[in-house]
Chains A and B, each alone.
Chain A
């Protein structure tokens, strides 16, 4: 230890190569360098810690653990050793050890600011607010900085609102009062310095409902000086809490005079007006009272006195109308006719693409009849009829807006198929006209101004396809979208819709292409994963989809590692206004349903597609470290992070309930995850029974009874099997409805019904029994073998039959059922692949034990049986061999079916597709050629991949 302080610069230089190697990921070299250094200086703790880190990075956990333990026992105090150790513990998620580490260091070096700060952050990581408070105060004593003082204040606040005692109202009150006293004292001493400190004080007052005090502080001198940028919304919030609607009303009038397009101001302003009428009784029956009168006058005044037309006051007027109608006040008399107001708005702002969203806000407040009448008025107002075309870009945008609104009003949904087709043709022409007139001179980063026509056209074509349950119209829409994409390469709406259609038609290659084109990365992998990554499991590919899981999982594991450092950052910068937000964000990110689901699917995918020999496969299995007995998923914490709004839609408002659809799909996704994670654990428990996990295996090598793992192992299988059948029973009773597919933008069905329809439940239930019987050598083993072989036949037949069905469908419609057929085939092959893997492991074990022992007396389970006849290992081995032979045979049958699987027949004659568009013939030829080639290739890639999968399975059971 002594030598460390002596010559730190020298040691730092010697340690450098280790750090450098670790940084570039050369862990082996780092290990060598650290060992070299340790030979010369065996007591150099930092070198030993670095050795521990190198070992950790090399996956040599046991050695690493030993190494780090030695260092930790020395209770190091030098910064570099502590840093390395805490880095290791962070990586291993042993956050409490970092606390211990710094506690020791602080004990030996009391009052050391840096060590105390590290100790503080280590408490932050484990969210121990009480300990945080104590350390912050120690820090403040050691070094009276404001930051430390307020660290202790916020730690007290968190004890009151987030800590274990926060549920007890008296405790909460006590903590918050204490926090306030601490700040009060500081203010009295004239020590408050920053805006975040002022924010925190306001926050503490608000948490205690001391709104008046908060108001006084916010409008006081100190706050003005420290916190000049305090958001004005804080004032609104407090005035509302105080019920001071009059002051709020006046404040907002002032603000609106200066800032005439702020929706947040108008919203609060209108609310204040309506609160004011609540408090003063209506003067005369049926006439709007003074408040609303002056509100209306004020809005008119803004409209009339503005030189530049902004949407603000107009929208506010519409909102006034809506609010008045909602409480049966005579809106028409005061504000005017609703339709007229909307038309005026449309005339003024219809050339902006946001106009549709704006008008849509007010549609739910009127009847269906009025909606449709209004839609027709807007169309008429746009001045485009079946015989005229827009003359300017602005004119065109108005037409687009009117069309989008009509769809939202439910006009299209009532048209006949013939009408819809004519409408589609018109839209296509409008697109082409708009493109050639206004869209050819665009930058590559701009969207084509007439693109919305094509997007609408795709939705209309889906309506027809859905009605007819046929793919041809939608396929044409896909071609149109692909054409648009060539003209407008940055239109992500087009990419998202194409991606959706490709998935719907089971064309993985096209989907992947669109996904890559969208360049989804970082947090988008989470929020947008539902459009692609979440659709990949059982889509028909296994190894092919693994890269997509990988890139998604990589984002999650990286952010998981960093998640706590973000929170530490808010402390470092004393950003009190963001701390809770960061903590909630951390929860949301780490509990993302997609993260958990994707991890499970990636593991299943690995088990299905492992292609080595038994030993290699088992090694791969062990590194997955699945703990069957341990359900690691925090079911109640899971979070829905999907950005469902990213895909634009204009579907009839009365038929779309976005929130209900979100909930429904989310609930089903959770159930799917239940099934999949249980499948994974159940399957792992089979393997573990024969191939016990590494730790148990170590013990076993000493005990010389390789086939005798602890009793709990069969218990785990029993338990999981019970959950498995229980889960399926519950799900069947729940009777979930498949997600509605009425509109193009709706989410695709979840896999829930597929999983329930396919023989997963029975297959793995029987497999569990088989594994147990085989293990015990139970007399009913022969019967169970028979059941398994029946199961295998059933799955094989389902696979073959599905392919036959798909080929039959191909003559009438090659695409409509393609996805569901592919899913079924994939599911069958998943089941058989897992089974093949298991059989190969079982066989390997039985063979090995037959070699080591000439005769082995199996133990069986603990139950005393009436018939103690136990089937000999040799017989068991023979039965197993028979099952493998049978599986091989059935896999061959699947393979020959796969070979006969025809690529999708594409609907209609391709050449007639774009007949009515003025496309150049060469564009048309390549476009349609490309789209159909994608479908064909996608099928071929899938079949090749599946056949390779089968080939591997035949090999592992064929030996």
Chain B
């Protein structure tokens, strides 16, 4: 039971119940404002009937040519509103917007250890496209999976042919620059 609406600046003052979650990062303001200014429709919030923030999704659309794709930067659901299919709802929304923007696929990065999330994305039709070595830095660096789902524009499902070799952060950065991301 959800209201979906665009995330607004004022929500930044109210999202603590979601952001206190240990897997949710609170970024600097410039990060949020950049997303809000550049891809406003990609930053959506789910609100409960009691007007609590249940979760939100933050993403963007970018890339050249057949690499034009939607990307999920952050997806988070408050502990009080888990197991209600909210993440799927938010992902659907982002995929829908990406379809409307004629993107070829949607991708996201996830911690290799985050079994719950990987499982969920797999159920939503995402495949593990490749592994990115030491993508997450911390006390112990952690690899990321780059997961993807093709959209209708990618008729031949070219974007989701998995990449067998893991890639390093350097390669990834180089590639992103090349793809105009």
Contacts and interface: CB of A to CB of B under 8 A. Distances in A.
Interface of A: 195, 228-229, 231, 233, 261-264, 267, 310-312, 315, 352-354, 357-358, 360-361, 444-445, 447, 490, 492, 518, 521-524, 526-528, 559, 562, 566, 569-570, 572-573, 575, 577-578, 581-582, 584-585, 588, 641, 643, 645-646
Contact of A582 (B17, B22, B33): B33
12 contacts: A261-B2, A262-B2, A263-B49, A353-B80, A358-B49, A360-B50, A445-B21, A569-B38, A570-B37, A575-B38, A588-B9, A643-B13
Contacts of B26: 521-524
Nearest to B20: A492
Contact of A354 (B16, B21, B22, B81): B81
B10 interface: yes
Contact of A315 (B1, B34, B41, B101): B1
A444 B22 CA distance: 9
B30 interface: yes
Given A445-B22, A566-B29, A358 B40 contact: no
Interface in B56-84: 79-84
A562 B30 contact: yes
A357 B50 contact: yes
A205 to B, nearest CB: 20
Contacts of B138: none
A756 B164 CA distance: 72
B48 A354 contact: yes
Given A231-B6, A352-B83, A523-B13, 16 more contacts: A229-B97, A263-B1, A311-B1, A354-B48, A354-B81, A358-B48, A358-B50, A445-B23, A490-B21, A490-B22, A522-B26, A523-B29, A575-B36, A578-B37, A581-B10, A585-B10
Interface of B: 1-6, 8-10, 12-14, 16-17, 19-23, 26-30, 33-34, 36-38, 40-41, 47-50, 52, 54, 79-85, 89, 97, 100-101
Contacts of B84: 311, 352, 354
Given A262-B4, A361-B49, A445-B22, A353 B12 contact: no
A330 to B, nearest CB: 24
Contacts of B29: 522-523, 559, 562, 566
Contacts of A310: 1, 85
Contacts of B79: 353, 447
Contacts of A641: 13
A195 B97 CA distance: 13
Main secondary structure of the interface of A (DSSP, over half): helix
Contacts of B1: 261-263, 310-312, 315, 358
Contacts of A526: 13
B8 A645 contact: no
Contacts of B41: 195, 229
Contacts, number: 136
Complex A-B, nearest 9 residue pairs according to Cβ-Cβ distance, in ascending order: A585-B9, A492-B20, A264-B3, A311-B1, A646-B16, A569-B37, A566-B33, A228-B100, A490-B22
B30 A361 contact: no
B180 to A, nearest CB: 16
Given A229-B101, A354-B84, A527-B14, A584 B9 contact: yes
Contacts of A311: 1, 84
Nearest to B36: A578
A572 B26 CA distance: 25
B3 A263 contact: yes
Nearest to B31: A522
Contacts of A444: 22
A518 B20 contact: yes
Residue of B2, B52, B82, B97 with most chain A CB atoms under a 10 A cut-off: B2
B48 A263 contact: yes
Contacts of A233: 5
Contacts of B13: 523, 526-527, 588, 641, 643
Nearest to A199: B40
A486 B40 CA distance: 40
B99 to A, nearest CB: 9
B76 to A, nearest CB: 12
Contacts of A523: 12-13, 26, 29
A575 B40 contact: yes
Contacts of A522: 26-29
Nearest to A355: B80
Contacts of A262: 1-4
Contacts of B23: 445
A584 B100 CA distance: 30
Contacts of A490: 21-22
B101 A643 contact: no
Question: Which of B1, B34, B89 has the largest count of A CB atoms less than 10 A from its CB?
Answer: B1
Contacts of A261: 1-2, 85, 89
Nearest to B38: A573
Given A523-B29, A643-B13, A357 B52 contact: yes
Given A263-B48, A264-B5, A315-B49, A524 B37 contact: no
Contacts of B27: 522
B37 A528 contact: no
B4 A264 contact: yes
> Which of B9, B23, B38, B84 gathers most chain A CB within 10 Å?
B9
A581 B8 contact: yes
A575 B40 CA distance: 8
B50 A646 contact: no
A264 to B, nearest CB: 4
A312 B6 CA distance: 20
A353 B27 CA distance: 27
A263 B2 contact: yes
Contact of B16 (A358, A577, A643): A643
Q: Which among B5, B41, B48 has the highest number of chain A CB atoms within 10 Å?
A: B41
A568 to B, nearest CB: 9
Contacts of B97: 229
A524 B34 contact: no
A356 to B, nearest CB: 9
A518 B49 CA distance: 27
Contacts of B89: 261
A312 B2 CA distance: 8
A312 to B, nearest CB: 5
A231 B37 CA distance: 17
A572 B34 CA distance: 11
Given A310-B1, A445-B23, A524-B26, A578 B40 contact: yes
A625 B150 CA distance: 60
Nearest to B6: A231
A233 B41 CA distance: 13
B181 to A, nearest CB: 16
Contacts of B17: 645-646
B175 to A, nearest CB: 24
A719 B5 CA distance: 52
A524 B32 CA distance: 13
A360 B52 CA distance: 13
A226 to B, nearest CB: 11
Nearest to B102: A228
A352 B17 CA distance: 17
A361 B84 CA distance: 18
Contacts of B81: 353-354
Contacts of A566: 29-30, 33, 37
B7 to A, nearest CB: 10
Contacts of B37: 566, 569-570, 572-573, 575, 578, 582
Contacts of A312: 1
Given A523-B13, A523-B29, A229 B40 contact: no
A556 to B, nearest CB: 11
A567 to B, nearest CB: 9
A859 to B, nearest CB: 52
Nearest to A315: B1
A584 B36 CA distance: 14
B95 to A, nearest CB: 12
A528 B13 CA distance: 9
A521 to B, nearest CB: 6
